[in-house]
Amino acid sequence: MLALLQRPELIGYLRRHPERMAGAVEELLRWNLSVGDGLPRIALADVQVGDVLVREGELVLVLLEGANFDPEAFERPDELDLEREGVNPHLAFGAGRHFCPASAPGRAHAEIALEVLVERLPGLRLAVPSENLVWRTDFIKRLPERLPVAW
């Protein structure tokens, strides 16, 4: 929601195009994945990752956000594009054996919440400048402590 509140024109777009809500949820999941400082892992063996040799025992911080902005996977990855077409292979719910089994209800809840907020609160806006938001620092997800809004 914060990404939309910072771009009120996108809220207007969704109000005019409610059929784009499911796609918007997918794009917002891609755009907003925020797993803090990354997932710490220890290399169990020497492995070549691109141009870097990671040695056994070294700490690796896996930044999932990077994958969601990979230009090989997403055209114009730095744009929040609510009209993005096709499969959106974001990692908001993990992948492979670490894929979240609650992804379907999570998507449904997000879509319903977004529809209701866009439809019923046309004047919804941040009540404070976004630079004044206080962010959680003791949690794996990077989230604001509060999201003060007015409508």
| pLDDT tens-digit series, residues 88-97 | 999 888 888 8
102-124 residue pLDDT tens: 999 999 999 999 999 999 998 99
Name the region of 125 (left: φ>0; alpha: ψ -120 to 50; beta: rest): beta
Cβ contacts of residue 35 below 8 Å, gap of 6+? 63, 64, 65, 140, 141, 142
Q: What is the pLDDT of residue 45?
A: 97
